[in-house]
Every structure is written in C-alpha cells, then in structure tokens.
Amino acid sequence: MNEAAPADDSFHEPAGSDPFWTETSWYAFSIPERRLTGAVYPVFRPNQGVCSAGVYVWDDSADSLHAIRYARNWWHLPMPDHDLTELDLPNGLSYRTLEPLKRYAVRYDDGSELSLDLEYEALHAPHAPMLGATGHLDQACRVTGSIRLHGDELVVDGFEMRDRSWSVRKDVGPVRAGYSYLVGADRALLAMSIWGGDTYFVMSGYHLIEGDLVAVTGGSRRVERDSHGRPAKVQLSVTDAAGRRLEVTGTCVNRFAFQSSPNYFAWMSMADWELEGEHLFGEDQDVWSPDLLRQAQRQGYG
C-alpha cells in the first residue's frame, strides 16, 4: 500500500484542464441501534469553479430522497478559495483537520432541521491504493459527538469510514462496482469490487487485525437482491496479504437511493456483518451508472 502524506488532506492540483476533474471528501456516521446512517459528501470541480455539498440522514423507515429523515444537496456552490483542511462552505458545512491523517472535525448547521458536531479519530493510517496526480484513500475512524435531527438530540459514539478521491470523474460512462466495509474497535475490513461480466471481483481493500493493516489481495462479492433490486444480503469472500481467507455475510438493515452525481447512483445500505462469529456494523454501497442499472433491471441483474 502507498503511504499518504499530510498534503493529501488538502486540495490537489488538477491533473490537467478536463472540466470533469473531481475531488471528493466523504464522511459517514451512524447509530446502529437506531438503524440510522448519515453521510456528508461534497464534490469539488475546480476546473469549473464549482462544488456541491450533500448531507443525508436515513434509517429503515424510507429509502427515497424525498422520504428519508434528512436530505439536502447544494449544487453549483462556488469553489472554495481556501484549503480543504479549514473548509467553510456557504451551506453551513465545515471541515477541520485537527491532526493530519488522524483527527478531523465535521460540523453542519441547518437550523431546526439538522445540526452535526462530530469528531473523527482514525483507527489506522490511511489505506491508499492510489496516490499522486490521481488518488484515493480510505480510513476507518471512531466517530464521537452529537447530532440534532428535527429537535431530537442524538449521541454518536461508534465506528465509521471516511474516504477521499481526486481524479477525472465523467458524467457519462459505464460503472458497476461495490464498496463494502465493516468496522469495530480493533478490527476492520474493506473490499472494493468491480463487475467483471459475471461476478464482482474484489480489486482492492484492507484488513485491520491486531493493529496491523494488511492489504486485501483478491476475492469476490455476491449480492442477494429483494424484489425491488435492492441489496438484501451481501457475501464477501476475500483473501489478504497474510494468506487469510475471510468469509463475511452482511444483512442490509437500511437503504438509501443515493445519486451522488449524474453518473453515480448507489444503494447505500447499513449492513450487519458476521465475521468469524462476530457481528460488526458497516455499509455496503452498490454502485451503478444509471444506464447500466436500467439494463440490469431489464435483464434480471445477471
């Protein structure tokens, strides 16, 4: 695995003039006992001078944008004139890097609808399958703090994920992939998979065990869908660089139909994962370009 540097907490210089050069910085939070998940997801397009900022909260009561507990996305905000490490967006979202590559604060205020006051403390060094002019990193974190949702004060104290990416990300083109993870106090697993024509092949990820961060070297992801095509159960079979073979089964306990950008749709599902007799919560992101999703629906998902 590559080693991230403190500069990777900052905005990256676009690798060329492509208008679809994109940078993202996603933070998740959850309260598993309430089946409640949240996501903060700004998308930056510096070559166009714009960004968007989405904030979402959902549980097992609804999965559509208009019906989940909270959903707002501001498109075409001006690209910030300051760094991501001290981010303040005009929609009330702020990021602070408290300790590079280790600790972060995420705050958001939308009056009586929703406010967030969260701190993220990394459980390990960033997993960085790509770094440089284009890159991606993932990091499991302990998340503490509070949210106020429609007047209800909720305590957050658990484990979740953050990730970062910077690359050209077109608004058209085929996409079919999976991003699946589970996180506990001393163990985590991430499997990033891509559709290969007849199954999902795990192409990257990591296994955190006994303080060691070990690369995932291969495997598969299998999805059992309900009558609406939504993931119901997910089976991961992965191997890591230490030669371990892991069989993990996740039961999806909530879902959100998430359109992060014109070409990226995902079923975002909190999952109750079973690994070697232990239950850990996390997420399964079932990612599609809309054209491939429509085709799969017609053909029964293959």
Domain definitions of the chain by residue range: 16-169, 172-302
pLDDT at 2: 84
Which residues, in sequence order, are CB contacts of 196 under 8 Å at separation 6+? none
CATH class of 16-169: mainly beta
Query: Confidence class of residue 301 from pLDDT cuts 50, 70 and 90?
Result: confident
Cβ neighbours around 79 below 10 Å, total: 14
Model confidence at 45, pLDDT cuts 50, 70, 90, reads very high
Token look-up 């910077």 returns: 166
- pLDDT tens readout for residues 114-156: 999 999 999 999 999 989 999 999 999 999 999 999 999 999 9
- pLDDT number for residue 51: 97
Mean pLDDT to the nearest integer, 166-173: 96
* Confidence at 200, pLDDT banded by 50, 70, 90: very high
Residues 291, 296: Cα–Cα separation, whole Å: 9
Share the mean pLDDT of the chain: 97
